Amino acid sequence: MTGALDGLKVADFSRVLAGPFATMMLADFGADVIKVERPSGDDTRSWVPPVDDYGVGTYFSSVNRNKRSITCDLGTDDGLAEATAVAMEADVIIENFRPGVMERYGLDYETLHAKRPETIYCSITGFGSTGGANLPGYDLLVQAVGGLMSVTGSPDSEPSKVGVALVDVVTGQNAVVGILTALRALDQTGAGQRVEVNLLSSLLSGLVNQASSTLATGQAPQRMGNAHPSIAPYETLQTSDGPLAVAVGTDKQFQALTRMLSVPELGTDPRFADNSCRVANRDELKSLLEEQLRNNSAANWASVLTDEGVPAGKVNSIVEALGLAETLGLAPVVEIDAGDGSRASQQVANPIRLSGTPAEYRKVPPLLGEHTGASFSGPG
């Protein structure tokens, strides 16, 4: 089957998460991605445990399928020559070095654009290429200084990071959007361009309503645990055996909730008459709802409330979440085989579904330098 991005050549000079996530997304839809690694490899190759059945770190595996790996020591003439040859053949180049590193090796946008004007060149940084050029771009650091930790956690806890490197993931998605947008512009103008994304700007954009309220009021939002600043009840509530997520967004849903909890009088109580009233009296409302919810389990309430159109669900582990997606027919897990029986890899499926040119899973995450010497004109 022909992929949507078949024929697109991507030179991937990135490492860790944001860049590799972006290039994997492109590779899933047919792009030929050559991952250019230093001799010691992408940092995440050594971020173990855990490892899979073949000894490959699961962090690395999560964002590097469908790629080829070559190793180049840019500090040597031969290594730099090989990396430059790959870059000169590529339609898209993506890198996440600190500003100035690629210039040192003649692999920067200005140098390559002068030689091949149609090239799309994507740079990913932590804090941009101006005042924050020398700041280290680690997800935890960006979550801290970018405000996300300030609104994550309970009111009486310390600020908390999100359980995954979410800023890296969002930045990787922004890189994909930028690259595809630049490719569309290339179709129209014949000219390539530079795409720049950074972790801090991606996070600030991703703060959406929290950032918008700050701009409108001048007040910084506070940590509210699992509660929502503008909707109630929209949080986790305690049942007989654990928390239940309840996401009531309309008065109709609230009426159904009170009815199923056998407290329909709360649906007409002036304190809870509409969403703004419920937000103003959220603590009292939470207490009254939990009195009823403690009569049964989270799983039972999730089933009963969902059947009545009330958005609710138990707090699942990741194992349970994958199982749920499977029961819903979402096919969340794919297995990729190396083809020669040497190794296989279980992967979370690409979340984008295309009816005509779907994602394909052709290559297991590569061993370090497995394809050294390869070029885009060679076997894919």
Indicate the angle between helix axes 208-217 and 199-206, nearest 10 degrees: 80
Helix axes 199-206, 166-189, angle to 10 degrees: 100
Task: Count the residues in the chain.
Answer: 380
**For residue 144, which amino acid is it?**
A
Q: Which residues are catalytic?
A: 168
- Residue 121 phi/psi, 5-degree rounding, is -125, 115
SS (H, E, C) the chain: CCCCCCCCEEEEECCCCHHHHHHHHHHHCCCEEEEEECCCCCHHHHCCCCECCCCCEHHHHCCCCCEEEEECCCCCHHHHHHHHHHHHHCCEEEECCCCCHHHHCCCCHHHHHHHCCCCEEEEEECCCCCCCCCCCCCHHHHHHHCCCHHHCCCCCCCCCCCCCCHHHHHHHHHHHHHHHHHHHHHHHHCCCCEEEEEHHHHHHHHCHHHHHHHHHHCCCCCCCCCCCCCCCCEEEEECCCCEEEEECCCHHHHHHHHHHCCCHHHHCCHHHCCHHHHHHCHHHHHHHHHHHHCCCCHHHHHHHHHHCCCCEEECCCHHHHHHHHHHCCCCCEEEEECCCCCCEEEEECCCCCCCCCCCCCCCCCCCCCCCCCCCCCCCC
- Contacts of residue 349, Cβ cutoff 8 Å, sequence gap at least 6: 330, 331, 332, 333, 334, 359
User: CA-to-CA distance for 10 and 225, rounded, in angstroms?
Assistant: 42
Return phi, psi of residue 164, to 5°: -135, 170
